[in-house]
Each structure stands twice: as C-alpha cells, then as structure tokens.
Amino acid sequence: MNPKLVKWFEDAWYKEMYISAWLMPWSMLYVDAIRLRRFLYRIGVLKKTRLPVPVIIVGNITVGGTGKTPLVIWMVEFLKQHGYKPGVISRGYAGAASTSPQAVTADSDPAQVGDEAVLLAKRCDCPIVVGAERVAAGRQLLSSNACDVLISDDGLQHYALERDIEIVVVDGQRRFGNGYCLPVGPLREPQERVKHVDLVVVNGPDELLEGELPMHCKGQQLINMKTGERKPLVEFKGMACHAVAAIGNPARFFAQLAAAGLDCQTHALPDHHPFTAEDLQFKEPRPVLMTEKDSVKCARFATDQYWYLPIDAELPEAFSQQLLKLLKDKAHG
C-alpha cells in the first residue's frame, strides 16, 4: 500500500481525524460479515480443527503491531523453563515463499518467510513453521518435532484452528484508536471481542483497565550488525543518529531512543517494509539505529554503521501463574 495512504489511515484511526461518512456503511458491512463468520464456526457450518496438543493464540484485534512477537519470545522461554516443549506457528506475513507451510531457521530469507518469523527463529530455540493455513502449519510442525504445546503468533481471527487459550495484546499508547472497525477504524473485530479471551496484555500501559495485565518491553544494548559488537544504549547519549523503523508503531521505538538521551533524525516506514540498501543511504554519515525486526531484512547489506536494539518483554507474576493454570485446566487434544 502507498505510504501516504497508510499515513492517512493511521491519522484517521488514531488521531481522531474527521472520517468521511461514506466509509461508515463499509464498516457496518465488515462487522456484519465478521459476526456471521464467527456464528457459522460456532454452529459448525464452518469447521474447526483441533490439534493433539494445546494451542495458545497470541493475537490482537487491531491492524498493525502491538507487541505480540516479544510476548511470544518470552512465552517460549518461560514454558521451556517449566518443562514444556513449545513450537511456534505463524502466517509468515509479507513472505513470498512458493511452498507453504515451511519450516523457518535463523538463516531463512525474510523475503520468503517474513521478518517476524526469522526474528523468532533467531531468538527462540524451538521449531517454527509458517503458513497461511495455521492448521497445516501446526500439523507439519508436530509431524517432525516432539512439541507438547503450540504458540500461534497472530491468528486470533483464524477460527479454523481450534484454540485452548487466547491472549490479546493491546498497544498501551494507541489502544483501539477511534473504536471503529475497518475501514473507518483500525479494529479487525469489534472491541467486545476482548471480553471473550483468556488474557489481555497491555504493552507499555499508561493505565490499566480491570482484568488487564501489563507488559513492558525494554532494550538496554545496541548490537552492531556487521561486527556483533555490543554497546550500552547510554553510550549513544547525545550522539546524532538516524533512527529507522518499519513496525506497527514506529513512534514507540523513537520515543525509547529519545528517552535514553539520543539525538535521532527519525525515519518511519510502513510495517514490514522490504528494505533496500538505498533506503539507508543518508547524506549525514551517522550511526543508523533500527529495531531487531527490521535488522533481519537489512543483514545482507549491513555496514558497521548499522546497529539494532533487541527488546525483551517483562511480565508480572500474575501473568505467569494464570498462563500455567490455564494450560493445566483447559481440555485439549
């Protein structure tokens, strides 16, 4: 989609810009279609498939990123620490692989399997399979790996896959925008959908509503993409840099750098933008800082001026305990 059109929609959705009345009928039709589809799944006209291990969906109800990937990385490590053998399935958004489903490794091409999938492979020591059909992806993963729980990165609206636990991640800054469904607003499903999931996690909350749990994503060290050198973020304090982000909410990344005292010229691009070397050729020869997700797409043309910031999620004990209890109590298989 054209970047200017993307920016127009984001302004309309999140900055309370005037919405043309002619879009509202399309939003109403969209909501009706969503509710009809859910009803058909509920009465069995559209079929669901249950896999032989518990399935945890980590999703959202808004367009764009909310912080699902850091949560998935955290959950993989947490579950392994508690004796589980997790695997991850994902759509592989923006990937152009000719075969699907497809296993992903740290060396996979993000242009083929998606940037988020490669990031997960780099950070998670577990099997990962991508595919538009989550059921097929799950079956392929389980056919060749001894996993006893599956985490689906996104897929809340993929009702063909039966799930045991649903977790919704909400952007604590933007939340649900203007509260309307597509195309008038950013919602994939009506906001009432959040009431029917097991856990609601808010990424970087300004405040929490009843039943919500906080998640804070923190990055302390920058890693050089060419040499692997690590430097504390504070060592760049006061330094003039370029900051590049092609994620769902670039402002969050830029604000994190500014809070650390960095003097950055910011460059926001659409989520999942397919970077080329020309995108990062700036007139001023300054360090170029980017997110870890963006770094997997820039590795092939990286220079020693490129740095990325790994992010780690922090969650409260209440989330840990509720997740373990849900896994123990929910029927599956």
DSSP string computed for 132-146? SSHHHHHHHHHHHS-
The reply, when asked if residue 68 is annotated as ligand binding, is yes
The string of DSSP codes covering 182-221 is: TTTSSBSS-GGGGGGSSEEEEES-SS--TTEEEEEEE--E
How far is 58 from 81, CA to CA, in rounded Å? 19
303 is in an annotated binding site: no
User: Where do the H-state alpha helices sit in the chain?
Assistant: 3-14, 24-43, 68-81, 110-113, 115-123, 134-144, 250-259, 292-298, 317-329
Helix (H, G, I), strand (E, B), or coil: what is residue 151?
A: strand
88 has binding-site annotation: no
Task: Judge whether 66 is annotated as a binding position.
Answer: yes
List phi, psi (to 5°) of 256: -65, -40
Residue 330 CA to residue 333 CA, distance in Å, equals 10
Coil vs helix vs strand at 315: coil
Taken in order 54, 58, 59, 64, the sign of the CA dihedral is: negative
**Residues paired with residue 288 on neighbouring β-strands, in sequence order:** 242, 306
Q: Would you list which residues are annotated within the binding site for ATP? A: 62-69
Q: Would you list which residues are annotated within the binding site? A: 62-69
